Amino acid sequence: MSFESLGLQPALLRALAEQGYTDPTPIQVAAIPQVLDGHDLMAGAQTGTGKTAAFALPLLQMLDSAAHGPAHNPRALILTPTRELAAQVHDNIRAYGKHLRVRSGAIFGGVGMGGQVQFLRRGPDLVVATPGRLIDHLQRRNVDLSGVRWLVLDEADRMLDMGFLPALKQILAVLPKQRQTLLFSATFAPEIKQLATNFMRSPREVQMATPNAVASGVSHRVHPVDAARKRDLLLHVLAADSRRQTLVFARTKHGSDKLCRHLEQHGFRAAAIHGNKSQNQRTRALADFKRGGTTILVATDIAARGLDIDQLPAVVNYDLPMVAQDYVHRIGRTGRAGAEGLALSLVSREEEGLLRDIQKLLKQPLAVESVEGFEPAWTLRPEHANAPSSQPGQRRGKSRARKPNRRDDARPASAQRKASHGHAHPQHSRTQNDAARANRSRRNRNGRNRAAPR
């Protein structure tokens, strides 16, 4: 199967060839013809399977074929859960559409609105946006969505998990009823199917993602360690190959900064990325990591989705995620496009329950290896991992770390300003409460080669 056989026009084929893409991935083969035929589509696809190109390529072709004068409102809208994913999707769209006259741009929080207002006033064909910032522009009447003919919800499950359902409903209410809608999600949970029932028209369905599946090339390893020695063990692990690029996940923003400073003090080139960083800081840190200026990127779960890092050899869970599903998202950064990867977790006694949740989700135990010199004063119970039973008389740890509140990374800027003064609007307070409830409910829920674009 070739891209030519999918019905793509020469300008798109030329752009793909210039980037070295020759063979479509399964999700592209399944989705592109259906999108070009005008069907609403629900597509199950994990990050790293080429899903961005599966909707971007046909969308660009349809926009180019229906192009018209310079003064008009957006005709295509792509919604993403995070700033990084919005920027990445737009970068891909620019690369694929370099030989087309399709005007596109991205709008998201964390940066000034002035440039985005100017962009919107110039009349773009396609807008990539996070829900919160888009609502800000709608409320200020900077954008008119009445001309949208194509809507894409990218990583819809993540948007619901982050509490964006009220924002999505608000955006959907101002869109034309007659449109083509594409929904891409790693899972088709009941909430996703209910959402699709409410705003899609007889959608076709393709499923290329196995729920909670991880790339076959990823090796999973658990190092049990006393909590007080975690930082020392991390230094030991990283020192084994100081040139290896590694993404390290911490649970909190403050913890990420503190860990990053600790690594820098011990000679590692490290940077941190989380929700308290400005968008410019986050963009610079990610770009520096991608080009090798830094070898360690310390991140909160904001980086678990949407970060496109080629050939990332290792991910380290310094703190286990509070929600098991986030383990799958985190380690999805490594072992992409058929490459081998390592997912290493440093597990303290307080995190035994979290490890158990992860293994239940994956339906497999993770290999446990104690590191010489860092052996903990406790032993993982056999139901938690393939480790020896606890010693007689040994206390069995049952405690769990308290689940922190998550910040709505892309909520409207107006809400962020009011919240900073202690006067958040009730509507935004409800949105935050929805996000908290969505996060709690998740606890109860049970790549191809370089020749394929993302």
Helices 413-420 and 426-442 sit at what angle, rounded to 10 degrees?
A: 100
Q: Helix, strand, or coil here: 5?
A: helix
- Going by C-alpha positions, the residue among 127, 144, 122 that lies closest to residue 63 is 127
Residue 407, pLDDT score? 38
- What value does the mean pLDDT take over residues 291-315? 82
What confidence tier does 201 reach under pLDDT thresholds 50, 70, 90?
A: very high
**The pLDDT value given to residue 450:** 46
Gap between the Cα atoms of 269 and 340, Å rounded: 23
Which pLDDT does position 216 carry in this prediction? 64
Pairing of strands 150-154, 180-185: parallel
Q: Longest Cα pair distance anywhere in the chain, in angstroms?
A: 78
pLDDT in tens, 146-162: 999 999 999 998 898 88
Q: Which domains does the chain have, with CATH numbers?
A: 4-207 (3.40.50.300), 218-368 (3.40.50.300)
For 398-429, how does the pLDDT look when each residue is reduced to its tens digit (9 = 90+)?
333 334 343 334 444 444 444 434 434 434 44
Instruction: Quote the tokens at residue 141.
Output: 């009447």
pLDDT exceeds cutoff 70 at 318: yes
- Residue 110 pLDDT grade (very low, low, confident, very high; cuts 50, 70, 90): confident
Residue 107 per-residue DSSP state: E
Say if CB 338 and CB 449 are below 8 A apart. yes
HEC sequence for 120-155: HHCCCCEEEECHHHHHHHHHCCCCCCCCCCEEEEEC
Are residues 185 and 155 in contact, defined by beta-carbon separation less than 8 angstroms? Answer: yes
- Which of 183, 190, 181 has the alpha carbon at shortest distance from 211? 190
Residue pair 300/253 in contact by the 8 Å Cβ criterion: yes
Structure tokens at 211: 């729920």
Residues forming beta bridges with residue 343, ordered by sequence position: 220, 315
Task: Please tell me whether the overall predicted TM-score, pTM, comes out greater than 0.75 for this model.
Answer: no
Q: Which 8-state DSSP code applies to residue 108?
A: -
pLDDT of residue 158: 85
Nearest to 275 by CA among 253, 258, 296: 253
CA distance 70 to 298: 43
- pLDDT of amino acid 146: 94
Measured in whole angstroms, the distance separating CA 441 from the mean position of its chain's CA atoms is 19
pLDDT at 390: 35
Pairing of strands 246-249, 218-224: unpaired
- Non-local (6+) Cβ contacts of 156 within 8 A are 183, 184, 185, 192, 195
**Higher-confidence position of 399 and 16:** 16
Q: Can you give the C-alpha Rg of the chain in angstroms?
A: 22
Centroid of chain to Cα 344: 19
Of 241 and 436, the structure prediction assigns the larger pLDDT to 241
Q: How many residues does the chain have?
A: 454
The per-residue pLDDT for range 347-389, each reduced to its tens digit, is 999 999 999 999 998 888 889 999 999 999 888 865 554 543 3
The more confident residue out of 317 and 433 is: 317
Q: Measured between alpha carbons, how far is 118 from 122 in angstroms, rounded to an integer?
A: 6
* pLDDT band, very low/low/confident/very high, at 452 (cuts 50, 70, 90): low
Between β-strands 341-347 and 218-224, what pairing exists: parallel, antiparallel or unpaired? parallel
Alpha carbons 303 and 429: distance in angstroms, whole number: 24
